[in-house]
Amino acid sequence: MKLDVDREFGDLRTHSVWDALVKHLTTLEWVSYIQPPPRGSKGPSELVRYLSRYLTCGPISDSRIVSANARGVTFLAREGKVQGGESRQVPVTLFTTEFVRRWCLHIEPDQLTKTRYFGGWSNAKLSDYTSTSVRQMELAEVPHSNEAMEFPPEPQADGRNDERPLRTCPQCEQATLEKVASWERPGWDEIFRKGGTEIPEWYR
């Protein structure tokens, strides 16, 4: 791999300077900032629900849209300078172009991997990932706690684990469900296509 640096850091191309930088970086304490839970949170389940909504849903729900036209969009938002805002929602109006610009900032880049479907914790890779992690942690020279070796139970063939009860149909009370229909999630180009069937009411 070739390191591409500008003139200010040109010395990093030499092995001695690069090794000195790496040695210095290993002496630093690297701590990632983790944002605390929202104020007034009742427990971990509330935080999990918030994260799942952020990962799986859009940037704003239709219920928060008060009105929209060619000039502006009015929606409900929390006010206040406190982190996370106040609980009371007030109407906020933005120019339509500015609202769409901010909304588009939440569109996932091409080839982005969603954490809820992929990664080491996915059902397809969980077994290999955990076994590899255990082997590497056993060989690591840095001491670790016993809790670090605890991993969630592997899912069964049907995607469940032993701690999750089997869900049944509320009508017939049978555990085996049969799929009768399915719909593909529309893409953003289809959603905002003029005259499309998926276009939101506030964008018409």
The domain segmentation of the chain, as residue ranges, is 118-157
The reply to whether the predicted model has a pTM over 0.85 is: no
**Residues 180/171, Cβ–Cβ less than 8 Å:** no
The span from the CA of 133 to the CA of 117, in Å, is 20
Please give the Cα distance from 12 to 3 (Å, whole number): 8
Whether the pLDDT of residue 87 is over 70: the answer is: no
Q: Minimum mean pLDDT among 49-63, 70-84, 121-135: which range? A: 49-63
Residue 107 makes CB contacts below 8 A (sequence gap 6+) with 188
**What's the pLDDT tens digit per position in 173-184?**
777 767 778 878
**Encoded tokens for 6:** 């500008």
Name the CA radius of gyration of the chain, rounded: 25
101 — alpha (psi -120 to 50), left (phi > 0) or beta? Answer: alpha
pLDDT digits (tens, 9 = 90+) for 140-173: 666 666 666 566 565 554 544 445 566 777 777 7
Mean pLDDT of the 7-32 span: 83
d(CA 130, CA 189): 39
pLDDT tens digits for range 49-74: 666 665 656 678 888 899 999 899 99
DSSP calls for 38-59? PTT--SHHHHHHHHHHHHHS-S
